[in-house]
Amino acid sequence: MARPDKSAAVAELTDKFRSSNAAVLTEYRGLTVAQLKQLRRSLGENAQYAVVKNTLTKIAANEAGITSLDDQFTGPTAVAFITGDPVESAKGLRDFAKDNPNLIIKGGVLDGKALSADEIKKLADLESREVLLAKLAGAMKGKQSQAAALFQALPSKLVRTVDALRAKQAEQGGAE
């Protein structure tokens, strides 16, 4: 029979997997407590970094419907549960790993899809959601300006064409 404390830990981890947009598994061997504290700060407000027991976390992930991470629960493992923008947290992990080579990104899951360590690094290379939305809004505004200029140009071109036809008819009428 399962011990109550372990059952509670599995239930808590299952809730974290279900409520987060993404989860990133890392190996933290060789990092000091101060470095882990610094890592937690670098992840941002919308992420929790927790050192976990592999067996309990594997059970919790499976209960949450995530089976793609099963082979990554080896060695000392910590999980970054991300509830906000995954790009911001992925950048925090990538930047921290550059300065501290003892942090190894194993892989993760984003909206139920398994991610390799390389895919997480590519995710970190993306611009933030706000920047992408601003670029989209700028592109849309540019297209609207082009459409407005086109619609404004059509009547004036029509007027110039009609004036040119009148002038040509007047010329031809006066020559006959």
Q: What is the pLDDT of residues 156-165, one digit of tens each?
A: 777 888 888 8
Q: What is the pTM of this model?
A: 0.66
- The predicted pLDDT at position 1 comes to 39
Q: What is the pLDDT of residues 131-150, one digit of tens each?
A: 777 878 877 777 777 777 77
- The predicted pLDDT at position 167 comes to 87
Q: Give the residue with greater pLDDT, 66 vs 1.
A: 66
What distance in Å separates the CA atoms of residue 93 and residue 11, rounded to the nearest whole number?
26
Residue 101 burial (CB count, 10 A): 8
Give me the DSSP letters along the chain: ---HHHHHHHHHHHHHHHH-SEEEEEE-TT--HHHHHHHHHHT-TTEEEEEE-HHHHHHHHHHTT--TTGGG--SSEEEEEE-S-HHHHHHHHHHHHHH-TT-EEEEEEETTEEEEHHHHHHHHHSPPHHHHHHHHHHHHHHHHHHHHHHHHHHHHHHHHHHHHHHHHHHHHHHH-
**Is residue 83 predicted with pLDDT exceeding 50?**
yes
